[in-house]
Structures are given as structure tokens and as C-alpha cells.
Amino acid sequence: MMPSGLSILAATRGALRDVEVLLLPATCLGCERPLAPAEDRRVCCALCRSRLRAIPPPVCGRCGQPLDAWSTHADEPGRCGFCRDWPGELAFATSAVWLEPGPARNLVHALKYGGWRFAAQPMAEILARQCARTWRDVDVLVPVPLGRTRERERGHNQAAELAAALARIVQLPLAADALVRRRDTRTQTALAPAERRRNVAGAFAPGPRVVSGRRVALVDDVLTTGATLGAAAHVLAAAGARSVGAVTFARARVPS
């Protein structure tokens, strides 16, 4: 099958990014300033890393939202009101940093839309460190698959890039083919929580890799309402996964 114009364009853009990394002075994707020669990271400077705001404890044991902002019922210690309507199959969700203007959003956009696939490495390093307690309860990492049209447009799946880098760092197996996308969906950005859940309902199916009996951590770049992760977790739980949680680089602030 001949490649589409979109896929050719995405592949060309990715190749140009790789050449740019080799030939041009290194600049930080967080602030776009030149990196100092002594810095060993070619995509994110030390200052921008220090400006990434980690999500402080105490957090909800299920969805990871700060309890001081979301806890509403004293008779449910360690749980919050935000995730009460989440699918039961999503055992936990944890994120490294807040998604806010500045380095965090710039890194996410560089990986997701800008073709900078190597931005996944520093993002994975931060995620591995901030969520260090998570890995002892995980057997395998599974990236959230992207719709075919969107992946052709971008030239890659940002969740797959992040999951691959994370798997190398935390030394966990990667099951990139444990979950597949059955259909393209509308972008979730402008949708309300209920609309998000309807949009992704039935969007995923089990892939050829078997995860039966294993503790799975879904990997994605950003968590907003948990609708996409919940739909993916439902499929993996039905396929026999022992448990399904989620880890993301960033978390969007959801208004109460």
C-alpha cells in the first residue's frame, strides 16, 4: 500500500528534526534557550527541570489528585471525590508534574505535536523518579494507542515513545501490542467529562500480546479526566489483566 501524503509529510518532518539535532546548536525545548556545553541533556535545561512542579502528597490513592483540593468525604480516607465515577477497572493513576504553561506544557507539545520524539527521554526520566514507588507493583507497561489518522499526521505515537523510554529506565517489559485502537475518535480537548467517556467508549480492543494475570500500567503523556485511560483499562481487565493502573508525565488541573 502506498504511503499517504500525511504519512510522508510526518516522516519527512521527523527526519528533519533528527538532522536538526545533529547539526544545529542544542536548545532547550522548555524555554528555547541554547543549552550550556556542560549540560548533557540536549532537550531540557536544568532550570526548566527545576521549574516543573511535582504533584505533592497527600494524594488520592486511586486517581492521584491532591486530597487537600479534592477530598469531600471524611468517611473515605485516602480517596477523593474526583474519581468516584471512574470505571472500577482503573486501580490507580499517578502523574509526575502539573500540566501548566512553561516547561511542562512545552515538553508535552514538543513530543506530541512538534515531532521531537527524543523529548520522551527527559520526560520519562522525570516520570520514573517522581513515581518511583509505583514500579514495584507493576509487571508490564502498555502505551495508550493513538488513532491511525492522528498517528499518520504526527508520524509517531507520543505515548509509545514515552512508554519505550520509561521501560528502559525502570527496567520493566513493554507490551506495545497489548492494546489496539479500533477506531479514530474526536479530540478530547474541548469535551466535557461525560462527552469524553462517550467519545472513547468501545474505542479499544485487546491486541495480540497477552497480559492475562499481569499487573499493567498504562502509559500516556497527559491525564485530564481519566476517560481514555478508563476505557483502555476496561479492555485490559476484560482480557484478564490482574490489575490495571496508569502513569502519565503530566496531569491537567480539572475544575471542581
Express each pLDDT in 91-133 by its tens digit: 999 999 999 999 999 999 999 988 888 899 999 999 999 999 9
Model confidence pLDDT, tens digit, residues 180-219: 998 877 677 767 777 887 878 888 999 988 899 999 999 9
Beta bridge partners of 206: 179
- Please tell me the least confidently modeled range out of 17-26, 129-138, 151-160: 17-26
Q: Break the chain into its structural domains and give their ranges.
A: 53-251
Global pTM reads 0.85
Peptide linkage before 58 cis (omega within 30 of 0): yes
DSSP secondary structure string, 133-158?
Answer: GGGGG-SEEEEPPPPHHHHHHHSS-H
- Cα–Cα nearest to 83, from 182, 227, 186: 227
Query: How far apart are the C-alpha atoms of 232 and 252, rounded to whole Å?
Result: 19
Beta bridge partners of 220: 248
Q: What cell does 152 get?
A: 499518520
In this predicted structure, what is the pLDDT of residue 25? 53
Fold assignment, 53-251: Rossmann fold (3.40.50)
Q: What is the end-to-end Cα distance of the chain in Å, rounded?
A: 48
In this predicted structure, what is the pLDDT of residue 6? 46
In this predicted structure, what is the pLDDT of residue 63? 84
